[in-house]
Amino acid sequence: MARVNRVLDLFKRGDTINKVDEVQPPPKYPFGDLIIRNDDEIRASTAAYRKSLETDNDITAQMSGVVRTEKEIATPKISNIEYQTKISEFNTIEDISEWQTTVKDYVKTSREVNPDIKTPELENSTRKLLDGNITREEHLKNIDKFKPVTSWNDLPREPSGKAVVFSLRKNQREDGVFALPSDEILKYNVSASELKVGDTFRGRLDIDAYKNYDSWVVAGDSSTANKGKTHYLTAIHYEGTANKPVKFLASQKTSERIGTGEIGKTGYARISGTVKDLNTNNIRVNAAEFLNNPEWTQVGFDPRRQGGFFVRAGENKHVPVREASEVIQIGPLVLAKNAVLDLAHKGYAKGGVIKKGLMSK
């Protein structure tokens, strides 16, 4: 089983399958081939990962794919294993336009869940909540009914360096800076990010990248590195300072407009803190250990559910998260250490009394 879990972790980073005898050690930058003996063995172990795909759709965070309701049942064209394998095979395409067209078409027809889908019942519930016609508790029941939130049981797939670059628009590729290995910086003719440990960073997800290409790319800006530029990376570990914790930020007005269906999703919410680690391998290893650690809370964000960051599971499920001592983001997965929860919150976006040092269980 340990070998299967190892294979799954590598596989979800976008690697490919070849039927030979054993799994090879992970490369420094795990974008290479995955080698296994029998993909049927993996197929039997993917249930947890398939469940983790059925999560909320907007985490900054805009978190991972929309959970299916009875009215939104997806009919997968192929199994998840086959989907992930096919996604990795697109790394052989060298032309950007061809890659974008091919991947976009494939994702549109084959992805199990659509992260951009709307839920009219929740838009109506949000309007009622904002107008004072229902309570927050009633709105949360509607979330559980029409678009329930689940927790992550495994790490999300890591996009290849090619996917990170090719999933962006031309102006983003030309003007942005990338936290990628030096050989990939040269290969894809992009500028290297100067972001380092100790720098400030305000991160989110690039919406078009995950909506169109199923590439979960962290995007953000820094006041201390490449000022005025947008940084693109696959993972980040934040920490707070003595006087400034990691903050979860989202505009109340924008959240309300998205929640009621007035406007579509936009990259407005941020996680703001100091960089503790940028090494994707280290971050993934730590995140795997922290998934079920009681000091760490799984955090969601989806303005089509509620207007701020929230606890994904446990006795404090749905409770707003305001800040934390540390935060890890790997694409759609966000983990917060010593999360500060707003237990007195009664509205859609605006908070109440903050309770320090409370964690979900």
Contact between 110 and 76 under an 8 Å Cβ cutoff? The reply is: yes
Q: Which residues contact 353 (CB under 8 A, 6 or more apart)?
A: 342, 343, 344
What pLDDT score does 347 carry? Answer: 67
Structural tokens at position 356: 């320090």
Collapse the DSSP code of 77 into the 3-class scheme (helix H, G, I; strand E, B; otherwise coil) and give the result: coil
Structural tokens at position 207: 């919406």
One-letter amino acid identity for 8? L
- Residue 68 has a CB neighbour count (10 Å cut-off) of 17
Length of the chain as a residue count: 361
Q: Which residues contact 171 (CB under 8 A, 6 or more apart)?
A: none
- Per-residue CA distances from 241 to 55, 141, 221, 343 (Å): 31, 37, 18, 24
Collapse the DSSP code of 160 into the 3-class scheme (helix H, G, I; strand E, B; otherwise coil) and give the result: coil
Taking only the tens place, the pLDDT of each residue in 265-276 is 888 999 999 999
Contact between 256 and 348 under an 8 Å Cβ cutoff? The reply is: yes
Taking only the tens place, the pLDDT of each residue in 72-119 is 333 334 458 889 899 999 999 999 999 999 999 999 999 988 888 899
What pLDDT score does 79 carry? Answer: 58
Candidate from 25-39, 53-67, 233-247, 341-355 with smallest mean pLDDT = 25-39
Taking only the tens place, the pLDDT of each residue in 323-335 is 999 999 999 999 9
How do the domains of the chain map onto residue ranges?
2-51+66-110, 120-147+167-341
Q: State the Cα–Cα distance between residues 175 and 263, nearest whole angstrom.
A: 27
What does pTM read for this prediction? 0.77
Contact between 341 and 311 under an 8 Å Cβ cutoff? The reply is: yes
Angle at which helix 120-130 crosses helix 252-259, to 10 degrees, equals: 130
200-205 and 191-192 beta bridge pairing = unpaired
Contact between 326 and 336 under an 8 Å Cβ cutoff? The reply is: yes
Contact between 311 and 230 under an 8 Å Cβ cutoff? The reply is: no
Which H helix or E strand runs over 285?
A: helix 280-290
Cα-based torsion angle of the residue sequence 227, 233, 239, 241 in order, rounded to the nearest 10 degrees: -10
Q: Which residues contact 323 (CB under 8 A, 6 or more apart)?
A: 240, 245, 246, 247, 248, 339, 340
Average pLDDT over residues 224-232: 98
Collapse the DSSP code of 93 into the 3-class scheme (helix H, G, I; strand E, B; otherwise coil) and give the result: coil
One-letter amino acid identity for 249? L
User: What value does the mean pLDDT of the chain take?
Assistant: 81
Q: How confident is the model at residue 314 (pLDDT cuts 50, 70, 90)?
A: very high
Q: State the Cα–Cα distance between residues 206 and 244, nearest whole angstrom.
A: 26
